[in-house]
Amino acid sequence: MAFDLERVRARYPGREILWRESTDSTMLDAARLTAPGSVVVAGEQTAGQGRFGRRWHSERDAGLYVSILLRPTGVTPTLTLALGLAAAEAIASAAGVACDLRWPNDVLIGERKCAGVLVQLGDAAAIAGIGVNVNQVAFPADIATLATSLRIATGCEQSREELLIELLGAVDRHLELIEYRGPGAILDLFASSSSYVRGRRVTVDMDGASVRGTADGLDPSGFLWLRCDDGSRRLILSGGVRPA
């Protein structure tokens, strides 16, 4: 079904929201924008970007593929936790699905990922990339056991436009939360919204090895403490967290 961009624009008058029928990556399109808050949304990405060179499966007209230009000043890693929270909140509002968050910001339904968030920070801009699996009914074999969609979870087709409307509002609210109440407010929210923050048995890829242990809370910057099975306690700086 064609994407009704005007429905989204009507909810955010004055905001630059661009549509790409097909693009290599909305992250590259957003890098050419200048006004903070500007948005690029695509029907299809031919080279959707995941973490560290991985690709984000971007089936045509099935998912929500969006990049948002953020103000580059004041960007902290806590921002990525906030964006995961925003994506989960938008999914709950638009589709009625309760999500879990896997540190730092994978959005899960049960154990399967339905949305991912990445932020690219350069000197000139910070760009948030958010991909949500909305109406996919199946996934490629290599991610079939790891991914799910809102349609699979609910059994019915979901509106990408309504999801984008909710997402933009949720992102704005969470950024305001950081601005006015500080990163601590995001950490508290994340800790109460994610089953991966404390007590969860996990395996983490770090320094070229897999380390097994138990999640042991967030440090003041939002990094994840891991109580390793060898007795040490290590701070996880990046991603690569999965159930043990």
Partner 1 sequence: MTFDEIKELIQVVKDSGVAELEVQRGENRVWIKRAAGLTQEVVVPAASAAPAVFGPAAPFAPAPGPHAAPAPAPAAGGQPIDVTSDPSLELVKSPIVGTFYDASAPAAPPFVKIGDTIQPGQILCVIESMKLMNEIEAEVSGVIVAKLVDNAKPVEYGQALFAVRPS
Is 23 or 80 the residue whose CB approaches partner 1 more closely?
80
Is 78 or 149 the residue whose CB approaches partner 1 more closely?
78
Question: Contact 19/3 with Cβ under 8 angstroms?
Answer: yes
> What SS3 class is residue 17?
strand
Is 210 or 221 the residue whose CB approaches partner 1 more closely?
221
The DSSP H or E segment spanning 225 is: strand 224-228
Residues 154-213 touching partner 1, rule: CB under 8 A, are 207-208
The strand pair at 17-20 and 39-42 is best described as parallel
For CA atoms 150, 133, 81, 124, the dihedral sign is negative
Site stretch for partner 1 (CB under 8 A), options 15-23, 36-44, 87-95, 235-243 = 235-243
Beta strands in 29-75 (DSSP E): 39-42, 63-70
| Position 220 contacts partner 1 (CB under 8 A) | yes
| Position 122 contacts partner 1 (CB under 8 A) | yes
Is 14 or 53 the residue whose CB approaches partner 1 more closely?
53
Is 53 or 140 the residue whose CB approaches partner 1 more closely?
53
| Position 132 contacts partner 1 (CB under 8 A) | no
Question: Of 139, 138, 135, 117, whose CA–CA distance to 126 is shortest?
Answer: 117
Is 46 or 154 the residue whose CB approaches partner 1 more closely?
46
Is 167 or 218 the residue whose CB approaches partner 1 more closely?
218
Taking the complex as a whole, how short is the minimal distance between the CB of residue 119 and partner 1, in angstroms? 5
Number of residues this chain uses to bind partner 1 (CB under 8 A) = 37
Angle at 169 between CA 191 and CA 180, to 5 degrees: 60
CA–CA gap between residue 139 and residue 151 (Å, rounded):
12
Question: Contact 113/101 with Cβ under 8 angstroms?
Answer: no
DSSP code for 144: T
Site stretch for partner 1 (CB under 8 A), options 8-16, 72-80, 141-149, 165-173 = 72-80
DSSP code for 36: T
Q: Residue 32: what are its φ and ψ, rounded to 5°?
A: -95, -5
Residues 85-104 touching partner 1, rule: CB under 8 A, are 103-104
Taking the complex as a whole, how short is the minimal distance between the CB of residue 131 and partner 1, in angstroms? 12
Residues that bind partner 1 (CB under 8 A): 51-54, 75-81, 103-105, 117-123, 207-208, 219-223, 225, 231-235, 237-239
